[in-house]
Structures are given as C-alpha cells and as structure tokens.
C-alpha cells in the first residue's frame, strides 16, 4: 500500500489527511484547509477503524440476509407504498456525512424518479438557517469567503461558535494569525467556552439576543460611518432594515442582556476596522430566529461593503464534513440538485430534461421535524435513514421513537449495528465507512476534496451510493442509475451544474464534466465555482454582483424576536446544548477511543452557582422539560449565565443510559428554515441523592445497557475493556438490570444487609465481566484494578478469591508484555488466538496489539503459527 491522501470525516473544516503504508494518520501538509494540522479527533482516526459493533451484513428483523434480498425488499416496500399511498408516503432522511456522490443519487431517486420532495437531511438541524439566510441575502446558498480571510482580518467576530472545540484547526489558524498580527477576537456566546479564552472581548449575550445585537450594530454603523459607500450600487433594502432596527433600539440592552459599554466597545471596533470576518455557527443557526440571525449578521457586512475582499466577510462554519456538498445536490427537502429551485417551473423542467424523466418533484417535501412527526402520525409508509442517528440528534426524541415504531418499514444504513436508531430498524444495511469509501466532500470554504479509500471493503459491506442505485434500478430506473462508480456520478453532477447555466447559478463545476476516472482519482482540492474553460474562483462577489434578478444583494429587515415557549409547568431555567472537544455527535466512532473519552468522561449539566441551591458538583441531577427528562452529573460553574444550564448532545442509550438529552429538547422550529431550537429549552432541575453506585467491567464487545429507573449509566472505553459506571438514587436490588453476558457462569458474593453486590461472569475459561456495586458511602475498587483481573485464569480457586476481592489477593505470575504500545500480554494474545483470532489483523482488532508501531507483528505471527501447529 502506498500513501493515501484523503479528508477527515468529522467537521466542516475539511482537513486533508495522509495515511502511510503502516496505517499512520497525519495531517496533509499540502491540503489548503489545514496545511498538515489535525485536531485530537482527526489524529485519533486510526483508532476508529476497527469498530466493535460493526454492521457486516444486511439484517431484516434481526436476521442476516443477502444484499439481493435486502435490496429487493427495499424496492418492493417503496413500490407498494407509492402504489397504494402515493410518492409522498416514502422518504429518505440523509446526512451531511454522506459523500456528495451518495447524496446525489439519493436525491435523484427521490426528487427525480419517485417524484417526491421527501428527501431531507440532518443538515436541517445544522445548516438550514444559513442556507435560507444566504439565499435571502445573496440569491443563492453561497459562502463568499475563504479560510485565509481569517488570517488577513484585523477583527474576527465569532458568533455562537465554540470554534476552539468544534472547528479546531480553523481556530488554530486564527490564533497563529493573532500572534502574528494582533487580530482582535470578539466572541458572542452566552457561555464562557474554550473559545472565549483567547478572546479580546467576550459578549455573554442573552440567548436569542443576536438579532438585536447586530441590528444595534447596523444603526451604529449608519450613524458613525459612511455606510454603503462601496456597495451603493450593489445592495438594496438598507432603508427598510434601518427603520426596523431603529424601532427596537430602545430595548437593546434588555434584548441582548449586555451593557451599553460592552456593546459600544464592540460596535466601535467593528466601525473602525475595515477587515472584519464574522464566523457563525450553531448558536446562530439552531434557533427559532436562526434565519433572521444569519441575515442580521450578513446585513452589517453588506451595508459596509465588507464582503468579497481579502480579510472580510461573513463566514458560516459548516458543521459536518459534507454539509455543503449535500446542499449542492439538493439534500434539503426544499431544494433541487445543483442549486435549482423546487418552486421554479423552469428549474424543474431543466432538471427533468437533464435526468430524462417526465417530471421531478414539484413541491417541497417534509422537513426533518415535520417528517418524523408525519411518520409518528402514520403518514409515512417507508423511511430510509442514512448516516445519521435521529433517535439521539432530533429534538423531542419521543416523537422519533413513535415515528420508528409506527412507520411500517424503517431502513437504516449505518456502519454500526447498535446505534439507538439502528436498533429500531426493520432492515439494516451495512455501509462502507471512512477509509473504505470513495467520493468528494465540500468544506466550509466551498472547497471540494476527495475522500479516498485506503482499506478494502469488509465482506458484506457496500457503499451507500451503490445501495441507492441498486434500489433505483429495481424500481425501474436502470438508465438513471447506470453508474459504475463515484467518478461516473461526479461527472454527471458536474455536467448538471453547467447544464443550461447562463451564470445564474453560481454553483458550477462544469470544468469537470468530462473528468476521467484517473483524473478523478488524482483530483486536487479546489473551490467552486469552476466553470468550463475557467479557473476555480476562490473569493466571490468581488465585483459586487450577486445572483439575484437585479444583481444586487438584499439587506433583509429583521426584528428581534425572543424564543417563545410557554411551558406547561414552571420551568425557571433555559437549557443550552453543545459539544465536547473530543466527541463526535452520537459517539459511534469517537466513543470507542480511550484517549478521546478521557477529556470529559461523564455527561454533565453545567449549572450557575446562583441557580444551584444546595446542588453540589458531582451530584446526580434530573433535568426536565415539557418533552422529557435526563439524568446528568451536576457541574456548578459560573461559565454560563445565571438562569441558563448547559448539557452536551453526545450521550446515547448505546453509550450509557439516562443521559440522552434529545428527549428533553425543544422541537420548536424557525418558520423560514425549519431548523429546530436546539439551544433553548425551558427546563427545571432537581437534585437526586446518590444512594448506590456500581462498576461493570466488560470484555469486548460493548453492550447497550437496559434502562433502570433513576439510574445513570455511563460507558467509558478503557484499555482492553468497556467500563460502565452506575450512579443510582436508589438501591438497585435487582441485579438483572445489569447487562451480564449470556451463557456465562457466575461467581458472586451478595451482602444484602450492607447492600453490596459483587459478581464475576466466566465463560470458556475466561473472565467476561465483573460487577461491583455498593452504597454510595463505600468505596469501589478502581476500574484499572478490575480490568487487570480480566486477564486472570478463573479456574484457579485463588484467582476466584481475587476476582471477588476486586484486587489480586496474591501476586499472579506476570505474563510478559508483547505489545509495548498498548501493554498487551502474551497471555491475552494466546487467549485471543484460542478464541478465534487467526491473523494479526484480527488480533489487532481485538486487542490492538501491533496496530501502532508494528514492532511486535513478527512475534504475533509467530504465536499464531505456533498455536496452529500445537492444535494440528
Ligand atoms: N468536537 C466536535 N466538533 C464538532 C462536532 C462535534 O460533534 N464535536 N460537530 C460538528 C457539527 S455537525 C457542527 S454543526 C459544529 C457545531 O459547532 P458550534 O456551533 O461551534 O458548536 P455548539 O457547541 O453546538 O454551539 C456553539 C455555541 O453556541 C452557543 N449558543 C447557544 N445559544 C446561543 C445564542 O442564542 N446566541 C449565541 N451567539 N450563541 C449561542 C453555545 O453556548 C455554544 O457554545 O461542530 C462541528 N464540529
Ligand atoms: N441537542 C442537540 N441536538 C443536536 C445538536 C445540538 O447542538 N444539540 N446538533 C445537531 C447537528 S448540528 C447535527 S449535524 C446532528 C448530528 O447528529 P447525527 O447525524 O444523528 O449524529 P452522528 O453520530 O454523526 O450520526 C452519524 C451516523 O452515521 C453513521 N455513519 C458513519 N459513517 C457512515 C457512512 O459512511 N455511511 C452510513 N450509512 N453511515 C455512516 C454513524 O455510525 C452514525 O450512526 O445533531 C443535531 N442534534
Ligand atoms: S478540525 Fe475538523 S476536519 Fe480537521 S482534523 Fe479536526 S475534526 Fe477533522
Ligand atoms: Mo451539525
């Protein structure tokens, strides 16, 4: 194997990654997004390749079936539903983690061949407000600038963005520039975050106060600057926007929760600095006023002509690796492919002609929240979910659960079998994952990069594009899905972008409409548009022309509007939800890496001291909204504002139990974009006494723990084992709530009077699991000490005593370490070989031995060979 250049599958920075022949992952020095840098998640990519609960064959109602049968079933279910209930009774719910080629064919199948708008994506939860705001302002979903603008700016404003954790490499570039040129950084976020650490000014805005804040700035700029001086002929709408903003000026301080002094300091800096970039992310988008927030930000750039030139402009930081690529092919229910308009007859005709179809969908489909509500109401007969975990990531997750229960046929394409959504599917389709699949992604600066495969497809696994095309063919659209591979799809996508495009659609990559397979393989990162016969264009709008009918950008009048929800009960606090540095969404990949789990191992609820009452840090708290409740560990901190609490979105039923925040979150949506209000839920909190705690140590693979009342269970990957920590407000007298390995023998010691339970599960001469629980005032053994006991030989009576003591009662003979990188012993390796690991890869997948420096590989091969001879 030679060196492979590919792109990180996590955030929208879109860093280039290099994989060397030994499997080592490093940052690609030549990639213009990162120039060699990687963050903690990117550099741990090598550790996410061997997923413990990898889905390796299609499964219908839990039974493994062949791909042919699986695809026949999908096609039959779709065809039946369409015949009986019409095209709008089927839907695809995709993801910004699909590659553009996957997305293109999914969208072609739904909006083209089937003729329904019901193709939406998790980008609805992520970028929909930006899309709507950019379309209103520029006439197209277009990010004008480049990452290098951040390095050339003198003032960078970060709004609702924890850039340091969520776009870490972009943040590193900004900090390096700050060190060089003294860039001022203003962070607008209700919370103090890692990003506020380096800020020149942190404006702890009242949640939802962003429109008021930027409207105030607009008025300040009008009053103190010759606004519009450059862009006089390029923008319209300033007067109306000014009038609306002025009407609310009196309540500026109340609406923003900020003092005049703070506000005017920022306004003054903005007015005096020509080179200003405003980066915005989910604190802006995930709001019932998200689209207005986006326009309020764009307005100040348009009004002052701070756009289209080096070092200035609004910059939407996209979340997922391909959030923008998905939009280019019409991934949202209100879009068509290639930035064509679903509401435009001419656009629909153009697309139907290009796809050689009689017609395409002529009205927008259901947006994510509405789609799942419709499914819960029995209106969707077949739903195909790809590369997303809506059981966790959609608000009011109870509706999602009902939707999955009520919908007669739910298909989930994923790489893992145990995601909270996958466990509810009727049909599971095993998808190719990062490193196995090929295609393109577009990052936040419109840069299209290749994702390349560097591993062969595991048996039974297929890339998403292939599964979609096969279903398309079975539904009678052979001609439309005659693609041999991603290069064919990309070529068609490029051709469509240029088809009858007279310059009206800025998204145009027709220069690549004839790209050969070899050139596609070698395609270097470039920014769209790349029109036929031209060079790629990095910075847009330099000429002051916008893709609107009159060529002018729109300054959109927006009025401040607080988030509204009147709770049924008294809910004195506002819940904000955010992300951690080292976890990716629902943790299906990052949640298996020990070192990524160490940064913030438990799900916390951050509570301001003024709101804490007698709640102490470390205590179990219940957070309740009108929609649901969750159990978290209290962290009393003044990082947030009084009256607001914050939790992270990551924990799931698969990685624990009780801490899932989705069921609590507000499903209200922005009226324009349909994006949910994920950062603003009225809640109440209640401390729970911790009466009982437990520790379960499990050998591979991890399990999904059952739900137990008032019990928080949190999984943590630790060297060679899965550790589950239980915190309960009552004595869990029923040990059956603990996920014990089936078919195991138990050695146990239960002291009912003192409330102590200890057991070891033994199977095939191996310790499979250990469970220790005790009342909260008693100490449990260390997880590390218990993990070491997994290596003991349980048939030795002395060792059994050690198991129940939770420590070694006598010094066990130490087995020599073979793999130094991960501390794997000869005994562990021999056990694994006896348990069926017949290759170094299998050993590596199970124990990780040999997967880092590789020095022990010859010894591992020797041990496998030796075992084979002994057993022959
Ligand atoms: N480590 C890590 N990185 C990621 C991801 C991940 O899961 N983990 N996911 C990726 C994805 S898909 C996305 S979308 C991005 C998200 O990237 P970000 O948007 O940076 O991340 P969040 O933490 O969701 O929210 C950002 C901030 O918005 C603030 N906020 C809440 N309400 C308001 C408000 O009313 N106004 C303002 N101004 N701010 C507010 C929150 O306090 C929070 O600090 O991250 C991407 N990068
Ligand atoms: N409360 C709250 N909720 C939120 C947010 C928030 O800030 N607060 N943020 C929202 C945002 S911005 C986002 S983007 C969403 C993200 O939420 P999700 O999209 O639901 O989260 P992921 O864990 O990224 O889910 C991706 C799934 O795809 C699988 N997968 C990985 N690679 C592939 C592949 O190649 N093919 C297939 N078929 N599957 C694959 C993974 O195993 C995983 O199950 O969450 C949203 N939900
Ligand atoms: S910054 Fe984003 S794209 Fe870059 S390595 Fe980190 S997660 Fe991957
Ligand atoms: Mo996102």
Domain count, the chain: 5
Contact 715, 651 (CB under 8 A): no
The domain that contains 781 carries what CATH number? 2.40.40.20
Region 201-222 average pLDDT: 97
Scanning 86-167, the segments in alpha helix (DSSP H) are 100-107, 128-138, 148-152, 163-166
Identify whether residues 121 and 156 lie together within a single domain: no
Tell me how far CA of residue 722 lies from CA of 527, 556, 572, 853, in angstroms. 43, 52, 38, 24
Query: What is the predicted pLDDT for the residue at 805?
Result: 82
The domain that contains 849 carries what CATH number? 1.10.10.1100
Phi, psi (deg, nearest 5) at residue 280: -135, 150
587: left (phi over 0), alpha (psi -120 to 50) or beta: left
**pLDDT confidence bin for 387, thresholds 50/70/90:** very high
CA 196 to ligand 4 centroid distance, Å: 21
Query: What is the predicted pLDDT for the residue at 871?
Result: 59
Contact 166, 318 (CB under 8 A): no
Which positions ≥6 away from 242 have C-beta within 8 Å? 218, 219, 222
Whether residue 59 has pLDDT greater than 60: yes
Where would I find the beta strands (DSSP E) of 61-130? 63-64, 90-94, 119-121
Phi, psi (deg, nearest 5) at residue 500: 50, 35
Least Cα distance to 639 among 611, 608, 610, 665 occurs for 608
Whether residue 811 has pLDDT greater than 50: no
Q: What is the DSSP string of 550-583?
A: TS-EEPPP----------SS---EEEEEE--SS-
pLDDT digits (tens, 9 = 90+) for 489-510: 999 999 999 999 998 899 999 9
| Candidate of 42, 43, 162 to mutate for ligand 1, largest count of ligand atoms within 8 Å of Cβ | 162
In a domain, 181, yes or no: yes
CA 407 to ligand 4 centroid distance, Å: 26
CA 840 to ligand 3 centroid distance, Å: 30
Query: What is the predicted pLDDT for the residue at 813?
Result: 45
What's the number of CA atoms in the CB half-sphere (13 Å) around residue 297? Answer: 31
In a domain, 347, yes or no: yes
- Report d(CA 843, CA 327) in Å as an integer: 41
**pLDDT confidence bin for 812, thresholds 50/70/90:** very low
Identify whether residues 291 and 355 lie together within a single domain: no
In a domain, 844, yes or no: yes
Whether residue 1 has pLDDT greater than 70: no
Q: Whose CA is nearest to atom 2 of ligand 3?
A: 11
Contact 830, 816 (CB under 8 A): no
Identify whether residues 115 and 134 lie together within a single domain: no
Identify whether residues 442 and 295 lie together within a single domain: no
Least Cα distance to 703 among 738, 660, 654 occurs for 654
CA 485 to ligand 1 centroid distance, Å: 35
Q: What is the DSSP string of 408-461?
A: SEEEEEESBS-STTGGG-SEEEEBP-TTT--EEEE-TTSEEEEE---SPPPTT-
The domain that contains 120 carries what CATH number? 3.40.50.740
Ligand 2 shell residues, CB under 6 Å: 95-97, 122, 125-126, 282, 286, 319-320, 386-390, 392-393, 413-416, 419, 431, 433, 437, 464, 577, 585-586, 588, 649, 661-662, 665, 678
- Report d(CA 741, CA 750) in Å as an integer: 18
Ligand 1 shell residues, CB under 6 Å: 11, 41, 126, 159-162, 165-166, 188-191, 193, 205, 207-208, 210, 281-283, 287, 319-320, 576, 578-581, 583-585, 679
Final residue in a domain of this structure, among 269, 295, 316: 316
Scanning 143-237, the segments in alpha helix (DSSP H) are 148-152, 163-166, 168-181, 210-224
CA 869 to ligand 2 centroid distance, Å: 47
- Say which range, 12-26, 91-105, 387-401, 855-869, has the weakest mean pLDDT: 855-869
Q: Whose CA is nearest to atom 4 of ligand 3?
A: 15
pLDDT digits (tens, 9 = 90+) for 775-787: 988 889 989 889 9
- Report d(CA 637, CA 264) in Å as an integer: 28
Query: What is the predicted pLDDT for the residue at 741?
Result: 79
Contact 132, 163 (CB under 8 A): no
Region 356-360 average pLDDT: 96
- Which ligand is the nearest neighbour of the Cα of 161? 1
In a domain, 533, yes or no: no
Identify whether residues 255 and 349 lie together within a single domain: no
Q: Whose CA is nearest to atom 46 of ligand 2?
A: 393
> Which structure tokens are listed for 820?
């130094």
pLDDT digits (tens, 9 = 90+) for 616-673: 999 999 999 999 999 999 999 999 999 999 999 999 999 989 999 999 999 999 999 9
In a domain, 33, yes or no: yes
Final residue in a domain of this structure, among 282, 297, 316: 316
CA dihedral 409, 332, 507, 304 (to 10 degrees): -160
Distance, C-alpha 25 to centroid of its chain: 21
pLDDT digits (tens, 9 = 90+) for 96-112: 999 999 999 999 999 99
- Report d(CA 435, CA 348) in Å as an integer: 36
Ligand 3 shell residues, CB under 6 Å: 8, 10-11, 13-15, 34, 38-39, 41-42, 168-169
Least Cα distance to 274 among 247, 308, 246, 321 occurs for 308
Which positions ≥6 away from 508 have C-beta within 8 Å? 497, 498, 501, 528, 529, 530, 531
- Which ligand is the nearest neighbour of the Cα of 171? 3
Identify whether residues 93 and 156 lie together within a single domain: no
Identify whether residues 727 and 785 lie together within a single domain: yes
Least Cα distance to 629 among 654, 666, 660 occurs for 660
Identify whether residues 482 and 618 lie together within a single domain: no
CA 389 to ligand 2 centroid distance, Å: 5
- Report d(CA 494, CA 859) in Å as an integer: 50
Query: What is the predicted pLDDT for the residue at 23?
Result: 87
CA 282 to ligand 1 centroid distance, Å: 5
| Candidate of 579, 588, 673 to mutate for ligand 2, largest count of ligand atoms within 8 Å of Cβ | 588
Final residue in a domain of this structure, among 755, 775, 805: 805
Whether residue 424 has pLDDT greater than 90: yes
pLDDT digits (tens, 9 = 90+) for 504-548: 899 999 999 999 999 999 999 999 999 999 999 989 999 999 999
Name which residue leads in pLDDT, 591 or 854.
591
Query: What is the predicted pLDDT for the residue at 752?
Result: 74
pLDDT digits (tens, 9 = 90+) for 575-621: 999 999 999 999 999 999 998 998 899 999 999 999 999 999 999 99
Identify whether residues 611 and 636 lie together within a single domain: yes
According to DSSP, residue 112 is labeled I
In a domain, 555, yes or no: no
| Candidate of 393, 577, 589 to mutate for ligand 2, largest count of ligand atoms within 8 Å of Cβ | 393
Whether residue 821 has pLDDT greater than 60: no
In a domain, 536, yes or no: no
Query: What is the predicted pLDDT for the residue at 149?
Result: 98
Identify whether residues 261 and 360 lie together within a single domain: no
For the chain, count helices (H), then strands (E): 28, 35
According to DSSP, residue 653 is labeled S
- Which ligand is the nearest neighbour of the Cα of 158? 1
Query: What is the predicted pLDDT for the residue at 437?
Result: 97
CB-count burial class (<10 Å; 0-12, 13-18, 19+) for 561: middle
Give the domain range for residue 360: 76-126+322-527
Q: What is the length of the chain?
A: 872
Query: What is the predicted pLDDT for the residue at 807?
Result: 76
Q: Which ligand 2 atom sits nearest the alpha carbon of residue 95?
A: 19
Strands 16-19 and 4-7: antiparallel
Region 289-307 average pLDDT: 96
According to DSSP, residue 337 is labeled G
CA 332 to ligand 4 centroid distance, Å: 14
CA 443 to ligand 3 centroid distance, Å: 11
According to DSSP, residue 676 is labeled B
Contact 866, 859 (CB under 8 A): no
| Candidate of 168, 189, 318 to mutate for ligand 1, largest count of ligand atoms within 8 Å of Cβ | 189
Identify whether residues 272 and 346 lie together within a single domain: no
| Candidate of 43, 121, 161, 575 to mutate for ligand 1, largest count of ligand atoms within 8 Å of Cβ | 161
Mean pLDDT of the chain, nearest integer: 93
In a domain, 298, yes or no: yes
Contact 159, 279 (CB under 8 A): yes
> Which structure tokens are listed for 498?
């240029």
Identify whether residues 616 and 713 lie together within a single domain: yes
Q: Which ligand 3 atom sits nearest the alpha carbon of residue 13?
A: 3
pLDDT digits (tens, 9 = 90+) for 177-196: 999 999 999 999 999 999 99
Q: Which ligand 2 atom sits nearest the alpha carbon of residue 127?
A: 12
Query: What is the predicted pLDDT for the residue at 385?
Result: 98
pLDDT digits (tens, 9 = 90+) for 60-72: 999 999 999 999 9
């Amino acid at each position: 194997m030679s060196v492979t250049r590919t792109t990180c599958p996590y955030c929208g920075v879109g860093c280039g990654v290099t994989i060397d022949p030994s499997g080592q992952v490093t940052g690609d020095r030549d990639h213009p997004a990162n120039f060699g840098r990687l963050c903690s998640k990117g550099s741990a990519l090598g550790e996410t390749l061997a997923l413990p609960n990898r889905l390796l064959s299609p499964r219908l109602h839990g039974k493994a079936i062949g791909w042919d049968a699986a695809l026949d079933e999908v096609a039959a279910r779709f065809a039946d539903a369409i015949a009986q209930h019409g095209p709008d009774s089927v839907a695809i719910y995709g993801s910004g983690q699909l590659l553009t080629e996957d997305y293109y064919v999914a969208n072609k199948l739904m909006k083209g061949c089937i003729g329904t708008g019901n193709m939406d994506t998790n980008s609805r939860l992520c970028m929909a407000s930006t899309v709507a705001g950019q379309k209103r302002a520029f006439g197209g979903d277009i990010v004008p600038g480049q990452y290098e603008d951040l390095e050339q700016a003198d003032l960078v404003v970060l709004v609702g963005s924890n850039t340091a954790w969520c776009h870490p490499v972009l943040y590193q570039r900004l900090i390096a520039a700050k060190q060089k040129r003294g860039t001022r950084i203003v962070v607008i976020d209700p919370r103090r975050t890692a990003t506020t650490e380096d800020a020149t000014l942190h404006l702890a805005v009242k949640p939802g106060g962003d429109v008021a804040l930027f409207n105030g700035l607009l008025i300040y700029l009008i009053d103190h600057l010759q606004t519009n001086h450059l862009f006089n002929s390029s923008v319209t709408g300033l007067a109306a926007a000014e009038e609306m903003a002025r009407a609310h000026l009196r309540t500026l301080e109340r609406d923003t929760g900020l003092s005049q002094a703070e506000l005017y300091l920022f306004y003054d800096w903005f007015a005096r600095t020509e080179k200003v970039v405003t980066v915005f992310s989910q604190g802006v988008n995930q709001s019932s006023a998200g689209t207005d927030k986006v326009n309020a930000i764009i307005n100040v750039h348009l009004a002052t002509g701070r756009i289209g030139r080096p070092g200035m402009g609004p910059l939407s930081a996209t979340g997922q690796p391909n959030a923008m690529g998905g939009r280019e092919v019409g991934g949202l229910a209100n879009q068509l492919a290639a930035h064509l308009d679903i509401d435009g007859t001419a656009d629909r005709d153009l697309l139907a002609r290009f796809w050689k179809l009689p017609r395409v969908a002529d009205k927008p489909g259901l947006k994510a929240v509405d789609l799942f509500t419709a499914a819960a109401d029995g209106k969707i007969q077949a739903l195909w979910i790809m590369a997303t975990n809506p059981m966790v990531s959609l608000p009011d997750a109870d509706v999602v659960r009902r939707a999955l229960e009520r919908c007669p046929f739910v298909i989930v394409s994923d790489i893992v079998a145990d995601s909270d959504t996958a466990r509810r599917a009727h049909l599971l389709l095993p998808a190719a994952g990062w490193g196995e699949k090929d295609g393109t992604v577009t990052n936040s600066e419109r840069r299209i990069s290749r994702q390349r495969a560097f591993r062969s497809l595991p048996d039974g696994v297929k890339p998403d594009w292939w599964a979609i095309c096969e279903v398309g063919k079975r539904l009678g659209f052979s001609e439309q899905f005659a693609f041999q591979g991603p290069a064919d799809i990309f070529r068609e996508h490029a051709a469509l972008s240029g088809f009858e495009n007279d310059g009206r659609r800025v998204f145009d990559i027709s220069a690549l409409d004839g790209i050969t397979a070899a050139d596609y393989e070698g395609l270097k990162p470039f920014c769209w548009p790349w029109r036929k016969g031209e060079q790629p264009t990095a910075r847009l709008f330099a000429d002051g022309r916008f893709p609107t009918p009159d060529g002018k950008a729109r300054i959109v009048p927006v009025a401040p509007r607080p988030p509204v929800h009147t709770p049924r009960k008294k809910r004195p606090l506002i819940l904000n939800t955010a992300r951690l540095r080292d976890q990716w969404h629902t943790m299906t990949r990052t949640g298996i890496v020990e070192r990524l789990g160490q940064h913030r191992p438990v799900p916390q609820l951050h509570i301001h001291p003024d709101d804490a009452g007698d709640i102490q840090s470390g205590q179990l708290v219940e957070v309740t909204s009108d929609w649901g409740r969750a159990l978290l560990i209290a962290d009393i901190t003044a990082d947030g504002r009084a009256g607001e609490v914050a939790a992270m979105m990551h924990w799931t039923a698969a990685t624990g139990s009780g801490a899932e925040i989705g069921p609590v979150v507000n499903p209200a949506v922005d009226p324009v974009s349909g994006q949910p209000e994920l950062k603003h839920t009225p809640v109440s909190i209640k401390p729970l006494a911790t009466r009982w705690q437990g520790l379960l140590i499990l050998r591979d693979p991890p399990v999904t723990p059952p739900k137990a009342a008032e019990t928080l269970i949190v999984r943590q990957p630790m060297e060679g084992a899965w550790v589950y920590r239980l915190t309960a407000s009552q004595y869990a007298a029923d040990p059956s709530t603990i996920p014990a390995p089936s078919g195991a023998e138990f050695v146990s010691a239960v002291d009912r009077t003192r409330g102590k339970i200890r057991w070891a599960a033994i199977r095939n001469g191996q310790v499979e699991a250990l469970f220790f629980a005790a009342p909260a005032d008693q100490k449990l053994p260390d997880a590390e000490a218990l993990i070491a006991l997994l290596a003991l030989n349980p048939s030795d009576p002395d060792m059994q005593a050690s198991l129940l003591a939770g420590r070694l009662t006598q010094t066990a003979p130490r087995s020599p370490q073979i793999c130094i990188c991960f501390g794997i012993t000869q005994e562990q390796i021999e056990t694994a070989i006896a348990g069926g690991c017949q290759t170094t890869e299998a050993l590596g997948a199970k124990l990780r031995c040999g997967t880092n420096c590789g020095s022990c590989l010859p010894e591992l091969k020797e041990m496998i060979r030796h075992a084979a001879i002994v057993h022959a």
